[in-house]
C-alpha cells in the first residue's frame, strides 16, 4: 500500500512537470507569411490614428526574425515628469502609479501565454554615461514563449485599453529582443526543483 501511494505521488509530480513543460513551451512552430500578415493587419487597425502607428515598422522588424522559439524582451524605461492620460480618464498624474496599474493589469495576460517577467531592477547609481542616452529609471526583462505570443499579448492588452497606462507613464523607452547565452534564471529548473522538494516531503509524510 505504501509503495502504491509513493508511486502515485511520484507519477503525479512527473505529470505536473510534463504539463508545465508543455504549457511553458518555447520551441513552437514558426508563423508563416499569412499569419504574420494577419497579425500586422490587426496591429495596424489597433494603432491606426494613434501615437503608436510608428510602431508598425518596428513590429515588422521583430517579425522578420520570427522562429517560433522563446525569447526575452529587454526594456529600458524613463518615466514622464507627470503621467499623461487622455482627457477624461479618472487617474492621477503620478507616472509610477500609472506604471503600477499597467504592471498589475498585464500579469494575467502574460501568464495566459506562459510569459513571465524574469528580471526587474531600478537604477541605483551612475557609472559610464553616453551623451544623448536618457537616464533610465528601471530595466525589465520579460520572457515570451514566442513572437506569436508577444503579438497576441500586445493585441489583447490593446483591445482592453490596458496599454493606456504604459503610454501615460513612459517618457522614453528602448525595447529589443534578446536570446540568453549565459543565464542563472532557469524557470524550468526552478519548477522542477520545487516539485522535487514537494514530492520528497510528501514521500516522507506518507
What is the CATH classification number for the domain harbouring 142? 3.30.70.100
Q: Is the pLDDT of residue 52 over 70?
A: no
On whether both 112 and 49 belong to a single domain, the answer is no
Q: Of 21, 43, 66, which residue is a domain's last?
A: 66
Residues 95 and 131 in one domain: yes
Question: pLDDT tens digit string along 110-130?
Answer: 999 999 999 999 999 988 888
Q: What is the pLDDT of residues 137-169, one digit of tens each?
A: 999 999 999 999 999 999 999 999 999 999 999
pLDDT at 1: 43
Same domain for 54 and 109: no
The percentage of residues in the chain with a pLDDT greater than 90, rounded to a whole number, is 76
Q: Could you tell me how many residues make up the chain?
A: 206
Strands 71-79 and 138-144: antiparallel
Q: How confident is the model at residue 83 (pLDDT cuts 50, 70, 90)?
A: very high
Q: Quote the CA–CA distance of 195 and 16 in Å, as a whole number.
A: 8
- List the domain range (segments joined by +) for residue 37: 31-66
Q: In this structure, are 154 and 134 located in the same domain?
A: yes
Q: Based on the domain organization, do 49 and 147 belong to the same domain?
A: no
> Is 51 found in the same domain as 75?
no
Cα separation, 172 vs 170, in Å, equals 6
Helix, strand, coil in percent for the chain, rounding step 5: 55, 15, 30
In what helix (H) or strand (E) does residue 97 lie, and over which residues does it extend? helix 95-112
Residue 187 has pLDDT above 80, yes or no: yes
* Residues 21 and 123 grouped into a single domain: yes
**How confident is the prediction for the chain on average, in pLDDT?**
92
Domain identity same for 19 and 60? no
Question: What integer is the mean pLDDT of 41-48?
Answer: 85
31 near 39, Cβ under 8 Å? yes
The structure's pTM equals 0.89
Q: Is the pLDDT of residue 2 over 60?
A: no
Q: What pLDDT band is residue 174 in, cutting at 50, 70 and 90? A: very high
Which of residues 66, 90, 118 is at a domain's end? 66
DSSP annotation of 27 reads: B
Amino acid at each position: 500500500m505504501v509503495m502504491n501511494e509513493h508511486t502515485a505521488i511520484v507519477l503525479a509530480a512527473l505529470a505536473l512537470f510534463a504539463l508545465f513543460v508543455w504549457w511553458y513551451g518555447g520551441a513552437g512552430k514558426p508563423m508563416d507569411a499569412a499569419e504574420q500578415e494577419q497579425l500586422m493587419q490587426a496591429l495596424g487597425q489597433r494603432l491606426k490614428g494613434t501615437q503608436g502607428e510608428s510602431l508598425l515598422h518596428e513590429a515588422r522588424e521583430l517579425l522578420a526574425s520570427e522562429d517560433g522559439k522563446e525569447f526575452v524582451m529587454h526594456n529600458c524605461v524613463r518615466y514622464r515628469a507627470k503621467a499623461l492620460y487622455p482627457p477624461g480618464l479618472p487617474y492621477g498624474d503620478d507616472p509610477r502609479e500609472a506604471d503600477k496599474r499597467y504592471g498589475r493589469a498585464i500579469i494575467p495576460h502574460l501568464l495566459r501565454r506562459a510569459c513571465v517577467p524574469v528580471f526587474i531592477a531600478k537604477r541605483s547609481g551612475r557609472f559610464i554615461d553616453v551623451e544623448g542616452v536618457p537616464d533610465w529609471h528601471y530595466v525589465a526583462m520579460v520572457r515570451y514563449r514566442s513572437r506569436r505570443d508577444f503579438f497576441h499579448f500586445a493585441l489583447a492588452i490593446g483591445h482592453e485599453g490596458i496599454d493606456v497606462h504604459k503610454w501615460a507613464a513612459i517618457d522614453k523607452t528602448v525595447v529589443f529582443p534578446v536570446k540568453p547565452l549565459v543565464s542563472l534564471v532557469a524557470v524550468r529548473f526552478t519548477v522542477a526543483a520545487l516539485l522535487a522538494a514537494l514530492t520528497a516531503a510528501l514521500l516522507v509524510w506518507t
